[in-house]
Structure 1
Amino acid sequence: MSLIRGKSTEKTKASFPELFFDLVFVFALIQLSHTLVEDFSSTTLAESILLILAIWWLWVYTTWITNLLDTDKEAVRLLLFALMFGGILLAIALPEAFKHRGTAFAALYCAMQLVRSVFMLYAYKGVDRPSYLTFVRITVWVIASSVFWIIGGFASLEARVAFWGVALLIEYVSPLARYWVPELGASPRETLDISGEHMAERCALFVILCLGETILTTGRTAAEHMQSNLSVMVFCSAFLTTGFMWWIYFHHGQQKAADKAETTSAPETVAHGLFTYGHLPIVAGIILTAVGEDFSLSHPEEHSSLKTTLAILGGPGLFLIGNIWLKLTAARKPPLSHIAGLAILLGTPVVLPMQQNFTIQMVSTVTLLLVALWEYVALRKAKATTA
């Protein structure tokens, strides 16, 4: 019995096993946020960037295969449960990945990547030759990156960053190279039968999970530091920041991305642009925003250092960059409101140097409010013009 979703069956909704699988990554994101809050040095930030890239790649490529598979089949569900278990162990090892748990982290990461790829070879064998060969190529690239992951796991800290950086570079370049390997060559374009609408929904749900993680982290920090009226004001600002991020992404951009992915004649290519790469800065921005809100809540009257300013303003900035890419790719029109908001965030440290953390937090919140209002008014005017 085939494990592949039938070509006549359009997969548009996320299944319960997929949603269950996503919960593991909430834990991983919380672990990552806590690591950054505890030590926001340049070294930890560089290490966290590598870990964010790794977590995202695990999640997004699992989403690709569940897009192709029939998640009602027991074998597929067992695969997801196995990946969940590996993901929990990976999240446990994550805070110490650049210390004494580097080997465990690398081994778990590679095992999840390889198990998933080998399962797809099994699922496509004798069913769809071009897709099967695509996953042969993908498996070769996974093996190549795994070599650097494992070597890095045994290496010293400085070398580990380099080896893992190379491993991630191999993985992130592989779709752009269309998984070229000797003898087989590159994978033909549009080989995989991707459901764009399903990919759009899965990424939207992951963004909700990230925003939810931000609220959980903010609530936990607020409960520990809610001793003054200033803390209450900063908490309200942090909560509104999360709400405005939700509005900016879901009011217009997410639906545009879904429409583009659903109607395009090149769903595989568009899915890579919109989802595989396009959502990465959005997710990273939300995680960094949670870190910045922790700083502003725990030390609201402290004068902002370079690192706290980077977290408080950099998170929303990354988020806006991701949404600019998303809306430009989907609508072929640059969102001026987002570009203006990004300019305000970049200019704030120059115009308002050495301000208190709560002031920088307020600037971040007001900037996102202006972006949301500007886009809302512009869209209303555009609809009125075309009506």
Structure 2
Amino acid sequence: MSFSQSLLRSRGNGIASVSFSELLFDLIYVFAVTQISHYLLHHLTWLGFLQSAVIWFAMWMAWQHTTWMTNWFDPNTRKIRIFLFILMLIGLIIAAAIPDAFGDRGLIFALCYVVTQIGRSGIILFMLGKKHHLTKNYTRILIWFFISAVFWIVGALEEDFIRLILWTIAVLSDYIAPMHGFYLPILGRSDSSKEWTIEGHHLTERCQLFVIIAFGETILMTGASLSELEVWTLPVVAAALLSAVSSLAMWWVYFDTSSEVGAEKIQKVDDPGMLGLKYHAVHVVLVGALIMSAVGDELTVNHPLGYISLAAIFVIIVGPVIYLVSNIAYKWLTCHIIAKSHIVGIIALLLIIPFSPYLNLLIINALSVFVFVAISIYEMMNPNVE
């Protein structure tokens, strides 16, 4: 058995499960999600939203490529486990730098991100050797990360808006490249049906666990906000309870009807790699919407009787709308069904916006929660009808 073969996961011997080392690795991203949501809360402007989005998409891409790595390589082997922990330590620095990524710690954030992406791809390429079927794929990935690294590093040396533009280009590069098979002149493109030989159950379970991380953040932010308030008034307690009910209802919308179908779908299709890529694309938006909703919950708990601003509308109403749109895409991708209840829910949420200047945060949040509870009850009563 070759060096690389001894580190790869066994295929065909049952369902690949998520390892304890992967769960430990995810704790870094619990921290990162918290950092991003707090950053957005304290920079609740269009510029702050764009900055938060760039950081979030970068963090997801770092997590996604590590997830694909542990889908192919066995994290229970000592070498892969140590490698995973090294990535975890670098990830800790990246997450810690998030609050000042568009300030004095931009270069630290960019350098650590680049080291993570290039370092992971380079070491995997070394472990694979020259003859493995994944070698060409990882060669293309490595070159593309070198291309995006230019924009990350140069952007870190610039200020404010220029940094945002260059980092946006870097993020787009990291996301567009896999959509086209990491195409490069001479090297061509990766064949997703032959080279992206993923194990469906592992991939879907990793995404579902990340969704739970995001739900945990919404609950943590609500609880933290409530605990920090010196006086617990009835509106404050009501806002906290509504936020918790909202998290439960949103959880139900995702997990009750189709969350397990994804694994079966990826296992059965002819091109599981491309479906897995689309699966990740849906989830980066879905989890991002949950981060926005967590910010909306914290705003409501802190100022339940306050009147709404345009920024508050964006996180309290538009965040849940994006979440429902992502779920529609997810259910179509996995089940080929159109979730009509979600479409009705989106319309109901959008109808709240014209009346929002006349309502306080507590009432608006209550209306949003009512929409999700109604969707959950409808789907519970009609499990075969969307």
The TM-score range, normalised by the shorter chain, is over 0.9
Shift of residue 32, structure 1, vs aligned partner:
1.0
Question: Is 2:219 the counterpart of 1:215?
Answer: yes
Q: Residue type of the partner of 1:34?
A: H
- Given the superposition, is the C-alpha separation of residues 153 and 369 from structure 1 closer, same or farther in structure 2, using an over 3 Å criterion? same
Contact between 2:308 and 2:356, CA under 8 Å: does it hold in 1?
A: no
Shift of residue 12, structure 1, vs aligned partner:
2.5
Counterpart mapping for 1:1-387 below 5 A: 1=3, 2-126=6-130, 128=132, 130-190=133-193, 191-225=195-229, 227-274=232-279, 276-379=280-383
Q: 5+ residue gaps in structure 1? A: 383-387
Q: Distance in 1 between matches of 2:361 and 2:234?
A: 15
Shift of residue 347, structure 1, vs aligned partner:
1.9
Give CA-to-partner distance per residue, 1:169-202, whole Å, 9 cap, x none: 1110011110111111111232122001110111
Give CA-to-partner distance per residue, 1:224-280, whole Å, 9 cap, x none: 235211111111100000011111111012112222122222110111112x20111
Identity of paired residues, percent? 32
- Given the superposition, is the C-alpha separation of residues 344 and 154 from structure 1 closer, same or farther in structure 2, using an over 3 Å criterion? same
Shift of residue 352, structure 1, vs aligned partner:
4.0
Q: Residue type of the partner of 2:255?
A: F
Contact between 1:280 and 1:322, CA under 8 Å: does it hold in 2?
A: no
Give CA-to-partner distance per residue, 1:316-359, whole Å, 9 cap, x none: 11211111110011111110011111111122112443310001
Moved over 4 A (4+): none
Q: Distance in 2 between matches of 1:106 and 1:161?
A: 12
Give CA-to-partner distance per residue, 1:60-114, whole Å, 9 cap, x none: 1110111000111111011111111011100110000001111110001000001
Contact between 1:312 and 1:361, CA under 8 Å: does it hold in 2?
A: yes
- Given the superposition, is the C-alpha separation of residues 324 and 23 from structure 1 closer, same or farther in structure 2, using an over 3 Å criterion? same
Q: Residue 150 of structure 1: SS of its match in structure 2?
A: helix
Contact between 2:307 and 2:357, CA under 8 Å: does it hold in 1?
A: no
Q: Distance in 2 between matches of 1:149 and 1:240?
A: 40
Contact between 2:307 and 2:358, CA under 8 Å: does it hold in 1?
A: yes
Q: Distance in 2 between matches of 1:90 and 1:376?
A: 41
Q: Residue type of the partner of 1:241?
A: S
Q: Residue type of the partner of 2:265?
A: K
TM-score (norm 2): 0.95
Q: Residue 344 of structure 1: SS of its match in structure 2?
A: helix
CA RMSD of aligned residues (A): 1.4
Contact between 1:305 and 1:354, CA under 8 Å: does it hold in 2?
A: no
Q: Residue type of the partner of 1:22?
A: D
Q: Residue type of the partner of 1:290?
A: A
Shift of residue 213, structure 1, vs aligned partner:
1.5
Q: Distance in 2 between matches of 1:189 and 1:297?
A: 46
Give CA-to-partner distance per residue, 1:28-58, whole Å, 9 cap, x none: 1111111111221111111001011111111
Q: Distance in 1 between matches of 2:13 and 2:181?
A: 26
Q: Distance in 2 between matches of 1:300 and 1:381?
A: 36
Q: Distance in 2 between matches of 1:120 and 1:90?
A: 21
Q: Residue 174 of structure 1: SS of its match in structure 2?
A: helix
Q: Distance in 2 between matches of 1:38 and 1:26?
A: 19
Number of aligned pairs?
Answer: 380
- Given the superposition, is the C-alpha separation of residues 193 and 10 from structure 1 closer, same or farther in structure 2, using an over 3 Å criterion? farther
Contact between 1:148 and 1:163, CA under 8 Å: does it hold in 2?
A: yes
Contact between 2:293 and 2:315, CA under 8 Å: does it hold in 1?
A: yes
Give CA-to-partner distance per residue, 1:124-167, whole Å, 9 cap, x none: 21452x31000000111110001100000101111101110110
Q: Residue type of the partner of 1:216?
A: L
TM-score (norm 1): 0.95
